[in-house]
Structure 1
Amino acid sequence: MRQVHVQQIECLLVLAEELHFGRTAERLGYSQSRVSQLIAAIERRVGVRLVDRTSRRVTLTRFGAQFVAEVRPAYESLTTAFAQARDRAQRGALRRLRIGFHGSLYEEITESFRRLRADQDVTIALTEIPLGSPFSGVLDGLLDAAIIELPVREPALTVGFRFPPQDHLLAVAASHPLATRTRVHAEDLATLDVLRPSGDAPTYWLDARVPRTTPSGAPIPSSTHITTVQEGLALVATGDHTMLVCHPLATRTTRTDVHYLPIDGLPEPSQLALIWPTTHTTPQLTTLAHLLHEQFADSRSIRTHK
């Protein structure tokens, strides 16, 4: 049960009502490919096909109809409990934001959290989320927001603030042959074993983290998947793997056994964003987005005048 997300169950229940992937996607605010991913994921977990889909119609299998009938009461009880808890929170009984993040947080971010606490008495509960699952906690209602890397193309999510773009760096072991160089090019990745995130993120997001090919089209080898940044750095330090990271993470995660090299030739820089569910935009979240905007504007101004 730990591996079955509420989002998957919700998607199956709506599909059971609509019997149409397009209408299900529209009703939930997802893409049709996201609906297909969620249904496939729950079928893998249950171990049996729940939905039959042809070019003309969508139907539940016998197992699917039975499963829907059994799981719907539990889902409705769970959503009722969430709704009641959210109502209490909105009435002021609970003033807390649950925010997920990957790896580390800039000082400007934690300063914005401090200001939100001081100005509005809002407590921030932080959770490091799996590297390859940037959206699940927010979409499942387990987190109020998350600070993750772009791109975000999920209709159910709002990008509340875009952080300044940052350069990519390549993390290599201090003993790696590349460690003696001052910088590398994206084409060099074709000769390396580059770590990739493991999780349920859409393909477009995973491919943005680690491209599958170099700009010239050469395949980028990747034999190992990781779930956290620290796990990745530990593997890099062994000398067998390399990892793409953003410049701020490198400056805040110094290790004697890992070197960070500027990398040229990647099409897009790294850029973080604050995201939250579109249907659950709150004054606390919009205030946090405003504070982040102010904080990073001040930081850029300070650096400009130094």
Structure 2
Amino acid sequence: MNPVHVQQIECLLTLADELHFGRTAERLGCSQSRVSQLVAALERRLGVRLVDRTSRRVALTRFGGQFVDEVRPAYETLTAVIAGAHERARRAALRELRVGFHGSVYEEVTEAFRRLRAEHEVGIALSEIPLGSPFSAVLGGELDAVIVELPMREPRLTVGYRFPPQDRLLAVASWHPLARADTAPVEALADLDLLHPTGDAPDYWRAARVPSATPAGAPIRSTTGISTVQEGLALVAAGEHALLVCRPLADRATRGDVRYLPVAGLGEASQLGLVWRTDRAVPALRALAALLDEEFAGAPAPARASG
């Protein structure tokens, strides 16, 4: 027994709409002879003529008209089911990047994420990573990329995008003597106990976060570690410690018990990077880097990222 193919049904329904073999062939993207073959095959399967065709006109037979009326709802239901299944499959196959970050993610970054999904059909799964472990998750494959402070000197990693440099500010308790000034001299860091990130970060990265000495050579104490920025700010507010942070974080982490001061003579800017494993530089990561570049190219100075 020869089965009825969906293509034969589709052809007959289109012919019933057009009543013209040429226009039917054009709609279906095939030849007129193929239309004739499909209709003839369906007629053989049903054992009855469905279409009357003369040199002047094309018309459905009485049986053909009845069959079209009966089969069209079932065909439309079938095509709707197939379209729905295809859309679910497309959504299930949506690519997703796993991206880690420190502190907060700000407007330009989230806009790049939105555009990545809209323009490239790539989603983002965000994870906050420990402050002192900037590279472990991406090296281990748990994350596809991280947005973290530079420098980065790991041979297996690539900086795919460098964010605009930002000033580093000193966070002190609002009642601290330094808080009364507009700026803090860099040599005053020797009188403070600076918080440092705890974790498995390489030594060069730790040294960039907390200098070991002032430019004049006075040692800088750092007796306490923190795993998150919010933990650090809470300790700063308690008054026994200070913390160096990037300006974007200070702009958003405002609180009445903490004051942020520029450090005159510090000479080091803070810069974030989008970092990924060199052997996993998929097109979606490069697309994200390009979108970040576009977003920050139009951002007002100082540009904002995450801190």
**How would you bin the TM-score normalised by the shorter chain?**
0.5 to 0.7
Give the equivalent residue in structure 1 for 2:150. 150
Distance in 2 separating the partners of 1:104 and 1:289: 18
Distance in 1 separating the partners of 2:152 and 2:254: 29
Calculate the aligned-residue CA RMSD, in Å. Answer: 1.5
Give the TM-score of the pair, scaled to structure 2. Answer: 0.67
Unaligned 5+ runs, structure 2: 1-91
Distance in 2 separating the partners of 1:191 and 1:301: 32
Unaligned 5+ runs, structure 1: 1-91
Give the equivalent residue in structure 1 for 2:225. 225
Distance in 2 separating the partners of 1:225 and 1:168: 19
C-alpha contact 2:101 2:147 (8 A) present in aligned 1:
yes
Q: 3-state SS of the aligned residue for 2:125?
A: strand
Distance in 2 separating the partners of 1:204 and 1:286: 27
Question: What is the CA deviation profile of residues 157-184 of structure 1, one whole-angstrom value per residue up to 9, with x for unaligned ones?
Answer: 0100000000010001112111111111
Mean CA deviation greater in 159-168 or 261-270: 261-270
User: What is the Cα deviation at residue 300 of structure 1?
Assistant: 4.2
Correspondences of 1:1-150 after superposition (within 5 Å) = 93=93, 95-150=95-150
Distance in 1 separating the partners of 2:302 and 2:207: 35
C-alpha contact 2:166 2:302 (8 A) present in aligned 1:
no
Aligned-residue sequence identity (percent) comes to 64
Give the equivalent residue in structure 1 for 2:199. 199
User: What is the Cα deviation at residue 302 of structure 1?
Assistant: 11
Correspondences of 1:163-178 after superposition (within 5 Å) = 163-178=163-178
Distance in 2 separating the partners of 1:294 and 1:168: 24
User: What is the Cα deviation at residue 202 of structure 1?
Assistant: 0.6
User: What is the Cα deviation at residue 94 of structure 1?
Assistant: 5.0
Q: 3-state SS of the aligned residue for 1:217?
A: coil
Distance in 1 separating the partners of 2:183 and 2:267: 16
Q: 3-state SS of the aligned residue for 1:249?
A: helix
Distance in 1 separating the partners of 2:98 and 2:261: 34
Q: 3-state SS of the aligned residue for 2:298?
A: helix
Give the equivalent residue in structure 1 for 2:246. 246
Which amino acid is the alignment partner of residue 254 of structure 1?
A: T
User: What is the Cα deviation at residue 139 of structure 1?
Assistant: 0.2
Distance in 2 separating the partners of 1:262 and 1:302: 14
Q: 3-state SS of the aligned residue for 1:124?
A: strand
User: What is the Cα deviation at residue 93 of structure 1?
Assistant: 3.4
Distance in 2 separating the partners of 1:199 and 1:266: 25
Does residue 190 in structure 1 map to residue 190 in structure 2?
A: yes
Distance in 1 separating the partners of 2:176 and 2:137: 36
Give the equivalent residue in structure 2 for 1:161. 161
Question: What is the CA deviation profile of residues 160-212 of structure 1, one whole-angstrom value per residue up to 9, with x for unaligned ones?
Answer: 00000000100011121111111112211000011011110110000001111
Correspondences of 1:265-280 after superposition (within 5 Å) = 265-280=265-280
Distance in 2 separating the partners of 1:301 and 1:270: 14
Which amino acid is the alignment partner of residue 292 of structure 1?
A: L
Q: How many residues of Structure 1 are paired with residues of Structure 2 in the alignment? A: 212
Give the equivalent residue in structure 2 for 1:286. 286
Does residue 257 in structure 1 map to residue 253 in structure 2?
A: no
Which amino acid is the alignment partner of residue 172 of structure 2?
A: V
Q: 3-state SS of the aligned residue for 1:256?
A: coil
User: What is the Cα deviation at residue 119 of structure 1?
Assistant: 0.9
C-alpha contact 2:157 2:278 (8 A) present in aligned 1:
yes
Q: 3-state SS of the aligned residue for 2:188?
A: helix
User: What is the Cα deviation at residue 268 of structure 1?
Assistant: 2.0
Runs of 4+ in 1 over 6 A off after TM superposition: none
Distance in 2 separating the partners of 1:200 and 1:302: 31
Give the equivalent residue in structure 1 for 2:298. 298
Q: 3-state SS of the aligned residue for 1:262?
A: strand
User: What is the Cα deviation at residue 223 of structure 1?
Assistant: 1.3
Distance in 2 separating the partners of 1:267 and 1:181: 19
Give the equivalent residue in structure 1 for 2:69. none
